[in-house]
Amino acid sequence: MKIINQIYWDRVNETYMYGTKLSKRIDETVTFQNNLMASGEKIMRWSSRLNYQAYKEVPRLPILLSGKKYRIKINMEVNPEDTAIFCLRFFDIQTDEISKVVFSSMEKEFIYPSQAVSYTFEIINGGCSEINFAKVQLGRADLPEKAFDEFFVMPLNQLKEAKKVALILVADNKRARELPEELKTTITDTQVFMGYISWQELFNPVSRLESWLKKHEEETVLIFSSDKKIDQILEDSLAKKCDFEFITSNYTLENQGQQPWFLPEMVKLDQQQVLNNVERYLRK
């Protein structure tokens, strides 16, 4: 399983607040405004190490493996443009800084130092007055760049002449996108895709789904949902605009096993079992 971690601006005590106007919305997007802040000041900081006794919170940055290459992607808009600076700092077991990576692009690849046991990520003011922040994504650098998209479609087979297309929609966990490495299909008469929708995109996914459907107007399209929220979105919005067959999660979630209903954020979707259910439907 390959993971893309989703990191939000959810700790005010690490935010520069003097003269700041901070607005936060239900989808965890944040608007930061400050016209008086001096350049070089730290706007926001995330850490992989946190004193639980002091904050009663878990670290917001994931554990990384020594010597491995990662990609960090920052999803935000800055006003004026190009006035935000980003900094990754790496620390040893004594909490001494051993190296850092400073950059200004919205995407950067880096290698986690072999001596590092913790790290931080900072947004530093370079003359900006406003930031519209969505999230930071962090995953292995060997993942395709499109895997970091809000709506990522991954083909499971290659059938160029197929007249029928099946799209299996998966809702990401709030904190991570999980991409199985050994997901395969034995279907030979239908082009099968997995479509991953980010947690934030679930608040308004219709336009991206419409764009994908337009690319397949000449084919028979079946859309399989694997989440109750996707069921509602497709039934309320998309089904009225586009022509496709819709199969709800009541079918695709069969044989998922017992799940912690009281902790929905801990629910683990068995994507192979979802695919098996879809294959059973397609063979009918």
Question: What are the Cα distances from residue 81, in Å, to 102, 210, 278?
Answer: 17, 30, 45
DSSP alpha helices (H): ranges in the chain? 52-55, 206-214, 228-236, 249-252, 271-282
Question: What are the Cα distances from residue 261, in Å, to 51, 202, 250, 258, 275?
Answer: 29, 20, 16, 9, 22
Phi-psi region of 239 (alpha: psi -120 to 50; beta: other; left: phi over 0): alpha
Q: Which residue has the higher pLDDT, 54 or 279?
A: 279
Average pLDDT, the chain: 90
Residue range 134-145: mean pLDDT, rounded: 97
pLDDT, tens only, 32-90: 999 999 999 999 999 998 655 555 567 889 999 999 999 999 999 999 999 999 999 99
DSSP string of 223-278, one letter each residue? EEE-SHHHHHHHHHTGGGTS--EEE-HHHHTTT-----TT-GGG----HHHHHHHH
Peptide bond before residue 155 is cis, with ω within 30 degrees of 0: no
pTM exceeds 0.85, yes or no: yes
Instruction: Say how far apart CA 207 and CA 223 lie, in whole Å.
Output: 15
CATH topology of domain 2-143: Jelly Rolls (2.60.120)
pLDDT, tens only, 172-209: 999 999 999 888 898 999 999 999 999 999 988 888 99
Given a cut of 60, is residue 142 above it in pLDDT? Answer: yes
